[in-house]
A and B are shown apart, each in its own frame.
Chain A
Amino acid sequence: MMGGAEMVYDYLVAGFLIMAGIFGFVGSFGLLKLNDPMSRLHAPTKATTLGVGGVLLASMLHGAVVEGNLSLHELMITLFLFLTAPVTALFIAKVHIHRHETKASLPKAGADGIWATHDVPETKNESETDPAQG
């Protein structure tokens, strides 16, 4: 016989799981569906992250209630994902900008005049020493 509190927990876990599944699916679906490259970047970086977040929450909750030990492992993974997802997105965006955008196709970069990805120095600094000789 299942107690009421456990039932609530169960529904909570199930809710997280279903949410996670939906977001996970949507993230990858967006990658297919969206028609311009920069927009495609939105779907997985966020939806997927949130999807995984749901799974992690569900797992934590499940561990705490069903198994009886509060495991905070999953927080660590979440921390990793939140730290890395923006950087990942930044890099992929930079790849896109590098390959497909021009100075003209982007909005003006304020006072600096140019976005960093397009800012390729003309000449290189020759004054450095050669570590291979050291």
Chain B
Amino acid sequence: MIITYSTLFAFTCFALALLMNLWKIIFAAEIADRILALDSMFINGLALMVLYGLALGSEIYFEASLIIAMLGFVSTVAYARFILRGNIIE
């Protein structure tokens, strides 16, 4: 029971975090903030995924989380490198 409620709490927190990230992505004045917000969004999404697996008692969703962690990093670096160098694989 307590786990259910705490899971729901965590769900809500991360979902709200997602919304805040989205807000920042769209309305930030700075590209750095947008990249940052997208990175956070990846991580918050990952958290939601893990929470979902926890709530369902399933391990099926683990790979997705793993991939999100990896790909969030790659895309953040790619976006940042684009700003820094233009060519991201020079």
Contact = CB atoms under 8 A, between A and B. Distances in A.
Given A88-B77, A91-B84, A10 B36 contact: no
Binding site of B, secondary structure by majority: helix, strand, loop or mixed?
Answer: helix
Interface residues of A, number: 51
Given A58-B54, A62-B54, A95-B35, A51 B14 contact: yes
B33 A37 contact: yes
B43 A48 contact: yes
B3 to A, nearest CB: 6
Nearest to B51: A55
A21 B15 CA distance: 10
B3 A96 contact: no
Q: How large is the interface on B (under 10, 10 to 19, 20 to 34, 35 or more residues)?
A: 35 or more
A25 B16 CA distance: 7
A58 B2 CA distance: 13
B47 A41 contact: no
A131 B81 CA distance: 23
- Which 5 pairs between the two chains have the least Cβ-Cβ distance? A21-B13, A28-B17, A91-B80, A14-B6, A21-B10
Interface of A: 10-11, 13-15, 17-18, 20-22, 24-25, 27-29, 31-32, 37, 40-41, 44, 48-49, 51-52, 55-56, 58-59, 62-63, 66-67, 71, 73-74, 76-77, 80-81, 84, 87-88, 91-92, 94-96, 98-99, 117
Interface of B: 2-3, 5-7, 9-14, 16-18, 20-21, 23-24, 30-33, 35-37, 39-40, 43-44, 46-47, 50-51, 53-54, 57, 59, 62, 65-66, 69-70, 72-73, 76-77, 80-81, 83-84
